[in-house]
Structure 1
Amino acid sequence: MNRDPKTATPTIEIATNRKAPRDYHILETYEAGIELRGTEVKSIRLGKLNISDAFARVERGQVWLYGCDIQQYEKASHETHEPRRSRRLLLHKNEIMKLLAATQQKGLALPVLRAYWKGPRIKLQIGVGKGKNKGDQRQDLKEKAENREAARVVASFNDKNRR
C-alpha cells in the first residue's frame, strides 16, 4: 500500500501493465478516473481486471478506454456488463486538451500503465508513450542484464568482506 503524496490517501495496486514500459518510452503520466457499472466494480474487487492490452483515445472531446477486460461478475442477477466494452475516462478539460495535442503527433500513444484504488475510487494511470523499435527493446534488455550482473558482483564482494 502506497500513499499519494498530494492527498495522503492510501493507494492499493489492482493491476499493472508490464508490457507498456517494454513497448513504449513513457514521456508523461496522467491519473484518470473511470466510469464503471456496479457489477464491474465488484469484479475488480475480486481481481478480474486485465489491462495488458488497454489503451486510451481522445474522441469528440472525451477520453475513452479500449481493450480493458473486466470479466463478468458471477453472482450478478439479470444485469451484467460486456467484458471488453469501451469505457469513459474522467479527466479535467485541460488534461484532455493536452492528451489530444499529444496524440496528434506521429508515433505517440496512450497506454494504460496501472490501475489502483485511491480511497473508494478506482483510478488508472495512463501515459503518453512513444513506441520503441526492436533495437530499443534489445538495448533495454541488455542494460537490465548488465545492471543485474553488476548487482550480483557487488553482493558477492560484500559477502566476502563480511567474513
Structure 2
Amino acid sequence: MKRTITALVNNTSGVLNRITGLFARRHFNIESITVGVTENPTVSRMTFVVIVDNQKNIEQVIKQLHKQVDVLKVKDITDEAIVARELALIKVVASPQQRGEIAAVVNPFRASIIDIGRESMTVQITGDHQKVETFIDLLRPYGIKELARTGITAFKRGSKKYDVEGNHITLIN
C-alpha cells in the first residue's frame, strides 16, 4: 500500500541521506521524493511516497523519524485532505505535420508546450498523479523520447472553521 509522508527538517547537509537511509534499513521502496526549502530558508519540506506492507511498519518509521536530530515534524498525510501536485516534462516525437494534433491533446490538460525542435516537442504538465499518468498515456502513441517527473509534493489542505453567533463570526483554530 502507498503512503504519503511529509517531514519538515532543518535545511542542513546530510539530512536527506540520513532519512532515506532509515527507509532503506526498513526495506521500504521509496516511489518518489521531493525536497524543497519552505517559506523559512532554514527549513525544508520533504514529501515521500513509500510502499509499505502494513500500517504498523509505517508507524515505526514515523517514530524513528521523530528521533532524528534534524527532523522537526513528520506526518502521514495519506488519509488526510491534501493538495498534491506533480510536474512532468515530456519530449515527444513531433513532425511539423503532427504538431497541431499534439497541441490539441495538450490544451484540454492545461499543459504547456515549452520547446519545439525539428522532430520533437517538449511539453510540461502539472497536476495530480492520475492527471499526469493519463496525459502521458495519450502522448505515448506519438513516441516519447524523454520523460522526467518530479514526484509528488503535498501538504494538508487549509481548513478554517468558523463559529457563527448572531452577527458575530469567530475563527476557530
With normalisation by structure 1, the TM-score equals: 0.25
RCO (CA 8 Å, sep 6+): is it higher in 1 or 2? 1
Q: Which has the higher strand share?
A: 2
Structure 1 or 2, whichever has the larger Rg, is 2
**TM (normalized to structure 2)?**
0.24
